[in-house]
Amino acid sequence: MPTFEIKDKDLAARIGKLSVNGKTIETPAFFPVVNPFKKGHERIIQKIKEIGFEQVITNSFIIKQRLGDRIPPGGVHGIVGFDNVVMTDSGAYQLLIYGGGRIRIDPMEIVEYQKRLGSDIAVIADIPTKDTAPYEEALMSVEETIKRAEFTDKLIEGDERVWVLPIQGGVYYDLVRRSAEAAWKFRNYSMYAIGSPVTVMEKYEMWKVAEMVATAKTILPLDKPVHLFGGGHPMIIPIMVALGIDSFDSASYILYAREGRYMTEHGTYRIEDLDYLPCECEVCSRYTPRELMEMPRDEREYLLAVHNLHVIMREIKRVKTAIREGRLWELVEERARTHPAMRESLNVIIKYRRFIEKLDPRFRGDAHGIFLYDATSYYRPELMRHRRYLKRVTARTARGRLVLVPGSPQEKPFSESRVFASVRRLLGIGEDDTVMFYLPFYELVPLGTDYAYPYMQFEMPVNPPKEVVVRLVKRLNAAIRRWGGAVVVTCSEYGWSSREFLERALRVDGVRFVEVCAQGHM
């Protein structure tokens, strides 16, 4: 039977091993769409292997149209010319594009056909939800897909391949939720897929896809992989993986190439608009844009497709590295700045931050320092857990003096900084005193915890954004009010800890200011 083993995690993302029919692929994984009947297929499938893709997807409906009931030796692997994992779609994409008037797919027949083809991963004949569909039509697509999933569940019982159950509903998130909830009752599906995002992504409405994914992921079982149909641009991969997507498929690499479009991690260019190729793959290191433009069309399309595949593979590897290092949030923030649509998608991650924080591992064997950039970094799982811990600490009975000391972003641990050494010398710290370090993003860090991860392992701007400083001030006011006063140590080296700023910002009684960064104190 198929197995899915999770090896590493970060946010809602995971590196996993999906094993089926004696073959294994590592997720996150990208499945290039291949059409074995297209001119030049043999050349492109060979390059897909060379670049390192261990999986492809093809269309069982198209194969059936071309070959009928005749299945050659080797089944779908022989037809495609690929020995490792081959996934077959049922033809639902053609149904989405051309409609039911032109495309007829018998759901039982296509299931049996995929069995005969010998697919490693197979998809049932669902009814896709168009993003332009009225609510009633979208509801019908969900109900019909659930109905088909129910009778297909009996047909695939005991089958050794991975069967995929698509989640429909499109941009109607209540229907996505309904579809995901219904998926729980079926026993024989080893994988789920988010259906119908292609037309939404073509409009660059990536945040709608992110909302679809997040809605489904909060409901679907966590022990099974989730696929995103049509996730073909590298710029979306980090954000969708952060939300819990394990695999993608698309023909974008070749479709873009036919239109002369050149992929990068942050967008797409037309080859005629480029003076330089910002990549070092085997194509870009050998040719110039002008040379590509002067080639015969078939050769230019092939070479652009090869480049596009390299960019997708590079982004998959970059995401896996970020997961291993616990830096996926930083990669997501970086990608969110490449396009306004991606920034909107990051807002979806922030919206679902509590769900993501529950899945994010608290301990890592190989912990790396975290980078804090701006207001979006405030919602990192590590900081959410810190604020929950802080709430418990500050809820205890206030006693003794509250001493608030600026935590230097450049001197860690804070308790060994020059600032704290001056505090000890000037104030003396008694056993009954409560000492907390204050700084943006973390807000308050109790003395004694500043040696723990991630209080020593972080980098942040010396002058952080206003929104983060405002949150710090709010936390300081609340703590001082609870203690009934405080000694606030100021340091003019940082704007957020200067006496001039804090005298205006702290609007509570009982504050005594002590400057330690003045000449002669440090």
Contact 309, 32 (CB under 8 A): yes
Run of H or E residues at 39: none
Neighbours of 358 (CB within 10 A): 12
CA 298, CA 300: separation in Å to the nearest integer? 6
Nearest to 476, CA basis, from 488, 463, 464, 467: 488
Note if 89 is an active site residue.
Answer: yes
List all residues 6 or more positions away from 244 whose beta carbon is below 8 Å from its beta carbon: 12, 13, 14, 213, 217, 226, 359
Counted residue by residue, the chain has a size of 522
Contact 257, 265 (CB under 8 A): no
Q: For 406-448, give the DSSP string.
A: EPPTTSSSGGGSHHHHHHHHHH---TT-EEEEEETTTEEEETT
**Active-site pick, 8, 10, 69, 89:** 89
Amino acid, single-letter form, for residue 13: A
Q: Residue 171 in 3-state DSSP? A: coil
Nearest to 111, CA basis, from 23, 182, 189, 183: 189
CA 349, CA 332: separation in Å to the nearest integer? 10
- Rounding to the nearest 10 degrees, give the CA dihedral for residues 315, 319, 325, 328: 120
CA 498, CA 495: separation in Å to the nearest integer? 5
List all residues 6 or more positions away from 381 whose beta carbon is below 8 Å from its beta carbon: 11, 329, 353, 356, 357, 360
List all residues 6 or more positions away from 189 whose beta carbon is below 8 Å from its beta carbon: 149, 153, 156, 163, 164, 165, 183, 224
Q: Backbone dihedral region of 83: left (phi > 0), alpha (psi from -120 to 50 degrees) or beta? A: alpha
| Cis preceding-peptide flag for 454 (omega within 30 of 0) | yes
Helices and strands (H and E) in the chain: how many = 20, 20
List all residues 6 or more positions away from 334 whose beta carbon is below 8 Å from its beta carbon: none
Contact 354, 394 (CB under 8 A): no
Give the distance, in angstroms, between the CA of residue 515 and the centroid of all CA atoms in the same chain: 44
Run of H or E residues at 235: none
Nearest to 497, CA basis, from 434, 426, 414, 429: 414
By annotation, the residues acting in catalysis are: 89
